[in-house]
Structure 1
Amino acid sequence: MRTVAILLFDAIEVLDFAGPFEVFGVAGRSTGQTRFSEPPFTVFTVAENTPVSARNGLSINPTYRLDNHPKADIIVVPGGGGFHPDGTPFGSRREMNNPVVLNWVRQSAESAELVLSVCTGSFVLGKAGLLDGLAATTHFMAIDGMRQAAPNTEIRPAERYVDNGKIITSAGISAGIDMSLYVVGRLLGKDVADETARYMQYDYWQ
């Protein structure tokens, strides 16, 4: 069994985290499969503070805080956010300069099997130095911001997701579902990913 930690923060895009949460949460157990003796993934959420106020006012109680949670095999960093009229950043654009979050990402990445980002979650990975010398993607409306956050990264705006081995980034919002299904297929086999997508009634990018 692998553990999946999904980072939460204020102004997070709901589908950015809920999509991967659903995929990993139902993978391998959504259609009565008997090939696994236990669910292949356990998913939990982590945040610096609680509760978290997501986009459109959704209130979320994270499972754990950043300073006290089980070891994670897979880290998911979602996106969401922007700038207030006065230029103050919020969401991922604020967290990409939050030393607490950046330190957590760096430290967690050292022992994690995989590090994933959705949408502008790639800004956080970029600021943490995890994308240096790699290729990455993000939301199509955030390419300029990505270049600033990760100047030493090859940006691939046309890609739905980009696999660097340990680090995988996805494009905007719903692309996190496709990336997560891809990861399920990479780890457990394409048949499991296909069964998961069929259960979710989701036609995913392959």
Structure 2
Amino acid sequence: MNRRELVAASAAAFAAAPALAQSVPPLPASKMIKVAFLLGDNANVIDTAGPWEVFQDAMPMVDGRHTHPFFPFTVAPTLEPVRMTGGLLVQPAYSIDTVPQPDVIVVPAQRSTEASRAWLRAASDKAHMTMSVCTGAFQLGRIGLLDGRPATTHHAFFDAFEKEFPKVALQRGPRFVDNGRIATAGGLTSGIDLALHVVGRYFGPETQKATARYLEHAGGDWRQA
């Protein structure tokens, strides 16, 4: 069985599963959904690779055929290689000066710069949605994207987050919090759940379930709105 057949079979296998109860509106599907992963020094590997794999593997049915609508790419302050956690070196596809306007922005935990946060602020205004993973929420908080909104982050940083961002309603329990255009995930693997949630907002629960099945992602928190 090839990859396309496996994803199709996975959708059928999950047909009886309960549908995602959406409390936020669907996102506007298009032929190519550009997903920018903003990287900086010490960017966390699983924060990045988990959502990347979700978007890479999502294969919704469009006009009777499986498609690959998500186009993930990396962006960093410059084109110099970024050293991620554990010493993994990644060559960014774009710098913040050359990157095309994304539809979705993913911000993993990292040491960001003023320049990259300025790009994030401007790009978020035009994106369908911006999502953080783990302490990537601090970067969203520092440019005001979370003011007046509920949000979450890695549990080990709850107190520091609450102290730095008193205007944000910190949520200490959920794997992710989706405000419509801005969403935050908790630590590490919770980014996979939020990315699956985003896939569901674009293409519905069947594509969401099939993608989770293909990933062999056993957790069910992505089903929660």
Letter in 1 for 2:35: V
Residue in 2 that maps onto 1:121: 136
Say if 1:101 and 1:15 are closer, same or farther in 2 by CA, change over 3 A: same
TM-score (norm 1): 0.87
How many residues matched?
189
Residue in 2 that maps onto 1:140: 155
Give the whole-Å Cα distance in 2 for the aligned partners of 1:38 and 1:192. 11
Unaligned runs of 5+ in 2: 1-31
Residue in 1 that maps onto 2:84: 54
Unaligned runs of 5+ in 1: 80-90
Give the whole-Å Cα distance in 1 for the aligned partners of 2:96 and 2:125. 15
Residue in 1 that maps onto 2:57: 26
Q: Which runs of 4+ in 1 moved over 2 A?
A: 32-38
Q: Bigger relative contact order, structure 1 or 2, given CA contacts below 8 A and separation 6+? A: 2
Larger C-alpha radius of gyration, 1 or 2? 2
Measure how far apart 1:51 and its partner are.
0.2
Residue in 2 that maps onto 1:194: 209
Look up the SS of the partner of 2:100 in the other structure.
coil
Say if 1:77 and 1:149 are closer, same or farther in 2 by CA, change over 3 A: farther
Say if 1:36 and 1:139 are closer, same or farther in 2 by CA, change over 3 A: farther
Give the whole-Å Cα distance in 2 for the aligned partners of 1:192 and 1:163. 19
Say if 1:133 and 1:35 are closer, same or farther in 2 by CA, change over 3 A: farther
Say if 1:24 and 1:35 are closer, same or farther in 2 by CA, change over 3 A: farther
Instruction: Give the % identical residues.
Output: 41
Give the whole-Å Cα distance in 1 for the aligned partners of 2:154 and 2:199. 22
Give the whole-Å Cα distance in 1 for the aligned partners of 2:90 and 2:64. 33
**2:165 corresponds to which of 137, 150, 154:** 150
TM-score (norm 2): 0.80
Residue in 1 that maps onto 2:48: 17
